[in-house]
Chain A
């Protein structure tokens, strides 16, 4: 039967745009998606699609962040943001996999990776949805600290939603494995905190993503201080600025 309703063009397949369709499946039909991961159905295809989508969305958001400073910062942030998430993934996946294994999980490393990539895909598409907002404030505000805090807020919300997805996914995946289920749940919660700390420290290590106004372009800044201290400092400066004005 010929189907004429919103038929996709060959270009979508030719240029690999169909990989972005994975986002729709994750968001609209997550339960079946996690079941398919659990059953190992088309795992490499899914992982490739999620990886490509996430990298593209992270890169675009990174470029928006960096465009407040200079062209080099734009390009640098477009490359560094996907690296940030993928490096965090590489650092954190083994701990989740081996601890889950220790407490009775029968997931493979590929399945653990796929579930985490699902979380990344959700985070990345939410960041993409925040890109027009970031761009709007980039055009209309002149406050560096505000722009920094705005990005921290967008990352926090998107990251949290990704983590919620990860939790749901792990619950579906371990639904039939009763032995050690409670311990695995606590391992997962503990791991989520580890993931957040590793992610924020990784971001701090490979900063800047926005670039301080008036300063020349830097690929990496000197180590020192920490992410949380800087957020508090920015918050203080931003609120102080408001009070003075």
Chain B
């Protein structure tokens, strides 16, 4: 078997990935750590490092791992931007039609805060992205947008001005 290097293994995996540079770098860094650990363990046991790397790469399954990582992370990567776009729009629509009066006029701050629908929405705006989707950064941004929208609706009390 021809000798291989960690960089070659990573390059082979990288060829099968079509992710953003940021995610690809993170994924490859993690695989590198895994392979380096396998080689270091073999060295500690007095075994051949090259054989250990070959074995680790074979166990890892370059093609399968590349495809699997691609599938997992591609799906994952798409959700962030989609959620970041869709959730604030969705919240705005719900705020527009559920929390405020049908003619678009907003109640005063105390009345808004007293609405059960509003409070449910405020909690959902944080919980859905943070705990169900594990998008904590998105949850914070969405939370900010939610309050920004609320302020806009209150400051401009009528959007039904056509």
User: What residues make up the interface of A, taking CB atoms closer than 8 Å to B?
Assistant: 1, 3-9, 11-12, 15, 17-18, 20-25, 28-29, 32, 56-57, 60, 63-64, 67-71, 74, 125, 128-129, 131-132, 135, 138-139, 142, 144, 213-214
Q: Using a CB–CB distance below 8 Å, which chain B residues touch chain A?
A: 18-19, 23, 26-27, 30-31, 34, 60, 65, 69, 72-79, 82, 85-86, 88-90, 92-93, 96-97, 102, 132-134, 152, 156, 159, 161-162
Given known A-B contacts A63-B93, A70-B102, A132-B88, A28 and B30 have beta carbons under 8 A apart: no
- The answer to whether B134 touches A8, judged by C-beta atoms less than 8 angstroms apart, is yes
Query: How far is it, in angstroms, between the C-alpha of A110 and the C-alpha of B23 when the chains are bound?
Result: 33
- From B78, B89, B162, A64 is in contact (CB under 8 Å) with B89
Main secondary structure of the interface of A (DSSP, over half): helix
Residue contact B75 to A67, C-beta cutoff 8 Å: no
- The answer to whether B75 and A131 touch across the interface, beta carbons within 8 angstroms, is no
Pair count A-B, CB < 8 A: 108
- Sort A-B residue pairs by CB-CB distance and give the 6 closest, nearest first: A21-B75, A24-B78, A213-B162, A29-B18, A9-B134, A11-B132
Determine the chain B residues whose CB is within 8 A of the CB of A214 once the complex forms: 162
A139 / chain B contacts, CB cutoff of 8 Å:
152, 156, 159
Least CB distance from A225 to B in Å reads 21
Whether the pair A12, B79 counts as a contact (CB closer than 8 A) is yes
Cβ-defined contact, A6 with B93, below 8 A: no
B75 near A8: Cβ-Cβ < 8 Å: yes
Q: How far is the CB of A245 from chain B (nearest CB, A)?
A: 17
Taking a contact as CB atoms under 8 Å apart, the answer to whether B72 and A8 are in contact is yes
- CA A70 – CA B93 in complex, angstroms? 11
B133→A11 contact, CB < 8 A: yes
A155 → chain B closest CB, angstroms: 17
Find out whether the CB atom of B134 lies under 8 angstroms from the CB atom of A64: no
